[in-house]
Chains A and B, each alone.
Chain A
Amino acid sequence: MTNVERSGAVIAIDALAAQRGVRMLFEGLNFRAVPGEVVELRGPNGSGKSTLLRIMAGLTRPYAGSFSIGSGDQDAPRHYLGHADGVKPNETALEQVCFWARFFGQSEASAHLALERMGLKSRARVPGRGLSAGQRRRLALTRLLLDDRPVWLLDEPVSALDAEGRVCVETLIAEHASAGGIVVAAMHGPSLAGARLLDLSAIGGNSPVSSSGARVSG
């Protein structure tokens, strides 16, 4: 049984609000996600999709509200894939995957498998600066495969990917969900199959907040 199947992690978000500068991105956001679910964040640029993912990853503090990811009071381990790929220009693809494997306490064999899975095997000896944008994205996505974690937070996982890469990511997400994991992904363009949509533009925000921090009405 994998970690993912055992965890039974759920995501619970209550009355969450996020602010960027003086703009309220969204507020009063409530949602639940249960094991096996794929939640797709939609909304125009600047509607707070990335910020919501960063809050869930623990990188940014929310303006108000609370969230928990895990079962009971146990925090579930999660993968966060931001829109920067975190690829080093002077390390080869293989070196970088091996580094992340060691970072997660995994064997180098899993690094080779992850590279193969993302279709980067032929590029293993190429340094990061020699990879195309799509290949760098694939390299970043290998991190998801290195450590078995129940919750995936993905910021535009298919950006810069070709059709084949997109299919590869969709398969990964579907497999993860069917193994009992949760995927929250910010997306543009075509939707993921079987995903529940969460439209941040419908939750509102994007209105200026007054200096006291309270939202200006009207």
Chain B
Amino acid sequence: MMVSGAGAVFVRELKQAWSGGGGVSLPLGFFAGACSLTPLSLGPEADLLRAAGPGVLWIALALSSLLPMERLFQADLEDGTLDAYAGSGVALEWVAAAKTAAHWVSTGLPLALIAPVLWIMLQGPVSSMFQVALVSSIGSAAFFFFGAIGAALTAGVRRGGLLITLVALPLYCPAMIFGSAALYGAASGGDWTSPLMLTSAAALFAIACSPFAAASALRAAID
């Protein structure tokens, strides 16, 4: 029952994200836009872009991950779906985990897939494209699962986007620091695996904590 419920929610959220546009295109567009505007504002010097590029890419990825968060739980709270989930006996922890995982698959992974293209635009070496995709996909998992805590806490708040940012950004710090360190390592050909391990640790911590924190916030929201 718990697992079938969570599986059904996961599949539904994936379909919702890809049908009717909306959910996925905004963060992708924002990510691509932020990275492609960088050479225009910093100037086209390759050395400058090489120095700033990994950091800019990582900041843009973190902020793009925050964009879909506002609606993550809000729509379900408003239309009564969350009441139905909570009244069904399926634990809200499963629901929160399934929804967040589906959002990461539908939005976070596409962000990680276009990251190597943007990396080239920021004068990153072609040889490290694979590393960029890997670091971005793990980092975006940390961003999405931490972001879900903020999303759940502000689900009942109209225009709660700013509050989500305030709640989530402190939690983003470890993944911010180690993720960009991994990208700089990949760019310079230096050590990129140990910062990647630490980024993965942050992501695993987020995946482990987020369903519980989000579920208790959601229980307070429907009370």
Contacts and interface: CB of A to CB of B under 8 A. Distances in A.
A105 B83 contact: no
Contact of B4 (A54, A59, A84, A103): A103
A78 B19 contact: no
B87 A82 contact: yes
Contact of A60 (B11, B78, B81, B223): B223
- The B contact surface, by secondary structure, is helix
B7 interface: yes
A79 B7 contact: no
Interface in A65-93: 77-88, 90-91
A99 B98 CA distance: 14
Interface in B58-81: 78-81
Contact of B223 (A59, A83, A99, A140): A59
A212 B56 CA distance: 54
A80 B7 CA distance: 21
B83 A99 contact: no
Q: How large is the interface on B (under 10, 10 to 19, 20 to 34, 35 or more residues)?
A: 20 to 34
A190 interface: no
A57 interface: yes
Contacts of B4: 102-105
Interface of B: 1, 4-5, 7-9, 11-12, 15-16, 19-20, 78-81, 83-84, 86-90, 222-223
24 contacts: A59-B83, A59-B86, A59-B222, A60-B222, A60-B223, A61-B223, A78-B87, A78-B89, A80-B84, A82-B80, A84-B78, A84-B79, A86-B80, A88-B16, A95-B15, A99-B8, A102-B8, A103-B4, A103-B5, A103-B8, A103-B9, A103-B90, A104-B88, A105-B5
Interface of A: 54, 57-61, 77-88, 90-91, 95, 99-100, 102-105, 140, 143, 153
